[in-house]
Amino acid sequence: MSEHDPKEHTSFIKTPKQLIGVVVLAFVVPILLIAMLASIATRSVDPSAKVKSEEAITKRLKPVGQVVVEEGSDVPGQRSGKQIVDAVCSACHATGALNAPKIGDKTAWSKLIPEGHDELTQAAIKGIRQMPPRGGSPDLTDAEVARAVAFMANQAGANFKEPPVQAAAPAQVAAASGGVVPSAAAAPTAAASGTSSAPAGAEKGGAARGKAVFDQTCAVCHGAGIAGAPKAGDKEAWAPRLKQGIDTLHQSALHGKGAMPAKGGNTSLSDADVQAAVDYMVGLVK
């Protein structure tokens, strides 16, 4: 008989502890391998891919045109405080003409700001001392006057809130873009685009052009004879000025004279606009 080595049939598990260890490893090792594979798989996927995909879909579905409501517009009633100030109020408030508190003059406005936004707005709407109602521009709405007052007062340290500019009705937008005479606030917009600041329709003729600019800017003082300005149509007041010649009158209007600021305070007007307005007023007294 051949002899057999007993070690050949002996298991490496000799104790209960070793058996338990083998059983535990049999479960733990596969689980760890599965977890590692899952981790590698998830790392290769961009977690933001779904978000980006949704954004791409939204972008593709985005309408070609959108209605954007910006602060201020050329539609009457929708103009911002700055637009109104640039086109109307600056005629006096930019230079301090007629004792108007200059924009940014904290000393002058410190006496007015304590009265409050509502009180100052009502004074501007009704007119006070030498300032005509609504600054001489009757087309301004109460809200636009309030915005202009807030804008000027805030430049001198106030903290007034401008009434919000509401979205214009489609009919208003269509009318504003359909060639009707726009508001005084259109002047800065036209100047920025390099076109004449006179309202639409003013190009039809010299008289129409001059009247449009007069109504927009000059009427503030010449409509009521404020600060010694000769009233439009007052032949007696214009007589001595007519003797100076039309060229002199043009130059005075362009560069300013006495209490009248250059270009009536509306520096966005072109020289041709100013001259047309002068010609219009001269035509009223000839």
* Model pLDDT for residues 111-142, shown as the tens digit of each residue: 889 999 999 999 888 888 878 788 877 788 89
Residue 105, domain member (yes or no): yes
Residue 35, domain member (yes or no): no
Query: In CATH, what number is assigned to the domain containing residue 93?
Result: 1.10.760.10
* Structure tokens that stand for 180 in this block: 């009707």
Cβ neighbours for 181, distance < 8 A, ≥ 6 positions apart = 199, 200, 201, 202, 212
Shared domain check, 147 and 222 = no
Q: One-letter amino acid identity for 2?
A: S
Q: 276: domain range?
A: 200-284
Shared domain check, 279 and 205 = yes
Shared domain check, 205 and 134 = no
pLDDT tens readout for residues 255-269: 887 767 777 777 777
In total, how many domains does the chain have? 2
Cβ neighbours for 153, distance < 8 A, ≥ 6 positions apart = 109, 112, 113, 117, 120, 160
Residue 101, domain member (yes or no): yes
Give me the mean pLDDT over the 82-86 stretch: 87
30 bridge partner residues: none
Q: Which long-range contacts (CB under 8 A, 24 or more apart) does 268-272 make?
A: 268/86, 268/87, 268/187, 268/188, 268/190, 268/191, 268/197, 269/187, 269/197, 269/198, 269/213, 269/217, 270/196, 270/197, 270/198, 272/196
Residue 278, domain member (yes or no): yes
Residue 189, domain member (yes or no): no
The candidate with the shortest Cα–Cα distance to 79, out of 134, 120, 157, 159, is: 134
**Has residue 168 got a pLDDT over 80?**
no
Residue 178, domain member (yes or no): no
Q: From 98, 130, 154, give the residue that closes a domain.
A: 154
Q: From 124, 139, 154, give the residue that closes a domain.
A: 154
Give me the mean pLDDT over the 48-62 stretch: 60
**Has residue 82 got a pLDDT over 70?**
yes
Residue 27, domain member (yes or no): no
Alpha-carbon span 137 to 218, nearest angstrom: 10
Please state, for a pLDDT cut of 90, what percent of the chain lies above it: 5
The candidate with the shortest Cα–Cα distance to 148, out of 125, 115, 114, 172, is: 125
Alpha-carbon span 67 to 56, nearest angstrom: 21
Confidence of residue 8 (pLDDT cuts 50, 70, 90): low
Shared domain check, 265 and 210 = yes
Residue 6, domain member (yes or no): no
Confidence of residue 154 (pLDDT cuts 50, 70, 90): very high
Q: From 139, 154, 169, give the residue that closes a domain.
A: 154
**Has residue 206 got a pLDDT over 90?**
no
